Structure 1
Amino acid sequence: MTGLFFGSFNPIHIGHLIIANYMASYTDLKEVWFVVSPHNPLKQKSGLADMYDRLEMVRLATENAPQLQVSDIEFKLPQPSYTIDTLAYLKEKHPNKKFALIMGADNLASFKKWKNYEILLEQHQLFVYPRPGIDLSEWENHPSVVITQTPQMEISSTFIRNAIKEQKSIQFLVPDAVIDFMDKKSLYR
């Protein structure tokens, strides 16, 4: 089974990498694909680095981890792209793969707002990583929902972007290859 980890990854940081590696190593998922979103329909577009720069940063961050792959599938789809449409397209392109969704508890809490969420639950498993203060009791016994013990990291891409703006060190929060790339391109300054 392949886990799909959707996000803007603006930029990718060790919190994302720990979640993806945990999912690929400690659950029934054999691999995790980072699906870089050109634009999340539920988020504002401003402050988003170029999608090809974000894709390259994810590629740099995962190049030594064969169980972690990068996908630009949503770049080819009409925007904004909804998860249900992306999954239909992926199933067509990879008929032999079984796909699951990876999401944070915060996303699961608002999951019923997603387009065709019932179909997503019928056809796919959701692998959920915990978030502080999010109550998942409603989902605990759902046959399609796997609540994991993924280590929690209090790091966000917003925190990283603000640190860069304030010229603070982000060493150890972001892989070195990604820091070098951001420096070369003057991203988030």
Structure 2
Amino acid sequence: MEVGLFFGSFNPIHTGHMIIASLVKETTNVDEVWFVVSPQNPFKKNNNLLHEFDRLDMVNAAIGDDYHFRSSDIEFHMPRPSYTVDTLTLLQEKYPDKKFHLIIGEDNLASFPKWKNHEKILEHFGLIVYPRPHSRPSDLVNSENVKMIEAPEVDISATLIRKLIKEGKSIKYLVPDAVAALIKSKGHFQ
């Protein structure tokens, strides 16, 4: 089974994430997309980050009963900060019957060579890359282990969503309805 791994803080998960996951499933050989909720990105400060279990709950709400999608809390049980290569290695050990691929935005492709053990990721897992606005060119687009997909350049900002919530404004259509309901019921980002 082929699995696309979509890493993120998902703070909150939004319709842009769901569109990309759906297009990866529909336009590649991936059978499932797993949303890997990251407790702490090594390149980002930990400001305004909801507790990891709250973010996992939002991902599960977004997935609902779509059997092509799964959530993963594997990084919750790893040393922090966790690095993608370590998570990929652990997932491969835990699920030897699955072939994993890393899903990233084109904006991350130019900086991908700075990632820990990026050569190993590229060689053993490969990349599925979706378009992102304002992406810098990268020679990696020519790699046989990089699959570029066609997708709209969805530029929904979790920062904007949190700002709207704080201001008491609607986030309708920016997040799945189940996520909006969960955010409201829990009082997240107030």
C-alpha deviations, 1:110-139, integer Å up to 9, x for none? Answer: 101100101111111100001122133512
* Cα distance, 1:5 vs structure 2: 0.2
* Cα distance, 1:64 vs structure 2: 2.5
Distance in 2 of aligned mates of 1:103 and 1:96: 23
Q: Which amino acid aligns with 1:127?
A: I
1:131 and 2:142 matched: no
1:158 and 2:162 matched: no
Q: Which amino acid aligns with 1:168?
A: K
Q: Which runs of 5+ in 1 are unaligned?
A: none
C-alpha deviations, 1:83-122, integer Å up to 9, x for none? Answer: 1110111111100100000000111121011001011111
Aligned position for 1:44: 45
Deviates more, 1:9-18 or 1:23-32: 23-32
Aligned position for 1:102: 103
Identity %: 52
Q: CA RMSD in A?
A: 1.0
Distance in 2 of aligned mates of 1:48 and 1:140: 32
C-alpha deviations, 1:28-87, integer Å up to 9, x for none? Answer: 111100000011010000100010000000001001311011000100111111011101
Moved over 3 A (4+): none
TM-score normalised to structure 2 length: 0.96
TM-score normalised to structure 1 length: 0.97
Q: Which runs of 5+ in 2 are unaligned?
A: none
Aligned position for 2:171: 170
Deviates more, 1:137-146 or 1:155-164: 137-146
SS in 1 for 2:109: helix
Deviates more, 1:32-41 or 1:153-162: 153-162
Q: Which amino acid aligns with 1:71?
A: S
Aligned position for 1:77: 78
SS in 2 for 1:66: coil
Alignment coverage as a number of residue pairs: 189
